[in-house]
Amino acid sequence: MITPTSTAGAPTGNPGTADARTAEADTAVVLVNLGTPDAPTPDAVRRYLREFLSDRRVVDLPRWLWWPVLNLAILPLRAHRVAHKYASIWMADGSPLAAYTRRLAQAVQRECPQWRVVHAMRYGAPAFAQVLRQLRADGIRRVLVLPLYPQYSTTTTASVRDVVEAEGYAIRDVGFVEAGKPTAAADGSAPVAHFIADYHLDAGWVAAVAESIRAHRAEHGNAAHLLFSFHGLPQRLADNGDPYPAHCEAGARAIAAALGLRDESWTLTYQSRFGREKWLEPATADTLVALAGRGIRSVDVVAPGFAVDCLETLEEVAQMLKDDFRARGGELRYIGCLNDSAAHARALAAVVRDAVAAAASAAPVATPAPAA
């Protein structure tokens, strides 16, 4: 069986009502992140990238075209180079994305003693589908699925939802719902999954990100400019209705408003471009070049699209882009992700509790009449 993420099974001393402390033994919370290699080696990176980049949600090219490109060009060339990057950020307890996600689930478990809290990965281990099967085998009838993506994207969030659907859960959607994916009617026998599609405007999450920026600036002083750097996406997907850029914009605006920032003092940018297609703009790297060109000597960078630090923040931003900006005479100060901070755990616990409360107060989903 899957053990609770927390080593402390007993309720913690967090201020909760008697109801909140009542164990709900048939309910589990699953925090789902992208996934990451098991080791900073070319073999492990190749295995990870093969699974990740074979997902049609991530790369939607016809397979006859994509298979040779992936297997004959991308994997042989990329695995070795990217393994070096992972090696430069690897931590004592593994890949940062894995280590922080595991610790974040432990922190959320302390906030939610009434539920079993576990973590899972969409690619790699612990595999989300396996985790769902084990929970079902353990008698869990209701899962509260929180993908660790504050902003919905068809390339990330929807892929997590695909697994919930494939595993036979009756899905109750909370937040963004893709066209053609109506909330399923429960037939009474299937276990229920509350699927939390996004939390980019959640007040507690916005406040937690704003506070992390405020705390960083209180310690290091205000840089001349603040970049909100989000992972990018092919522009084509946005043109076809992916709400991701709108979620990034609305979230960044809410965080900037919480900090009382003037419009000229911050910019939203996109990083981690992959492939030859046009991706969302402006690119973080190009914006830093432009800022240096305008004589701006210090820039704070925060990455609110990433729940926890990972390759894309620690290597790309805090190492590579920082070095590039320094070469142009500037100082880039990276503000870390919320990771396993108590503030993050509290915010996510509240997101999950709100989703459950909203589902409880919503009209029950109609059960279709049996066919005559």
Whole-number minimum distance, CB 313 to ligand L6N33NVT, in Å? Answer: 8
User: 50, 78, 181, 253: which one contacts ligand L6N33NVT (CB under 6 A)?
Assistant: 78
Show Cβ contacts of residue 220 under 8 Å, excluding neighbours closer than 6 positions.
333
| Residue 200 DSSP SS3 | coil
> DSSP letters along 23-62, please?
--TTEEEEEEE----SSSSHHHHHHHHHHHHT-TTT--S-
Least gap, CB of 97 to ligand L6N33NVT (angstroms): 4
Q: Which is nearer to ligand L6N33NVT, 96 or 113 (CB)?
A: 96
Structure tokens at 241: 């209705």
DSSP 183: P
58 interacts with ligand L6N33NVT by CB under 6 A: yes
Whole-number Å distance between alpha carbons of 357 and 283: 39
59 binds ligand L6N33NVT (CB under 6 A): yes
Cβ closer to ligand L6N33NVT: 58 or 193?
58
Token pair of 320, please?
A: 């590579």
231 is in an annotated binding site: yes
In angstroms, what is the minimal distance from the CB of 13 to ligand L6N33NVT?
A: 33
Q: Is 198 in the site for ligand L6N33NVT (CB under 6 A)?
A: no
Per CB under 6 A, contacts with ligand L6N33NVT among 136-165 are: 149, 153, 155-156
By CB under 6 A, is residue 82 in contact with ligand L6N33NVT? Answer: yes
With H, G, I as helix, E, B as strand and everything else as coil, classify residue 331: strand
238 belongs to the binding site for ligand L6N33NVT (CB under 6 A): no
- For ligand L6N33NVT, the binding residue among 129, 274, 296, 328 (CB under 6 A) is 274
Residues 90-109 that bind ligand L6N33NVT (CB under 6 A): 95, 97
- Contact indicator for 185, 170 with CB cutoff of 8 Å: yes
The interface mask with ligand L6N33NVT, positions 17-46, x = CB under 6 A, is: -----------------x-x----------
Q: Is 331 annotated as a binding residue?
A: no
Q: Three-state SS for 120?
A: strand
Structure tokens at 321: 């882009």
Token pair recorded at residue 73: 């060009």
Cβ neighbours, 10 Å, residue 346: 18
| CA-closest candidate to residue 98, choices 136, 126, 79 | 126
By CB under 6 A, name the binding residues for ligand L6N33NVT. Answer: 34, 36, 49, 58-59, 78, 82, 95, 97, 149, 153, 155-156, 231, 233, 244, 272, 274-275, 305-306, 310-312
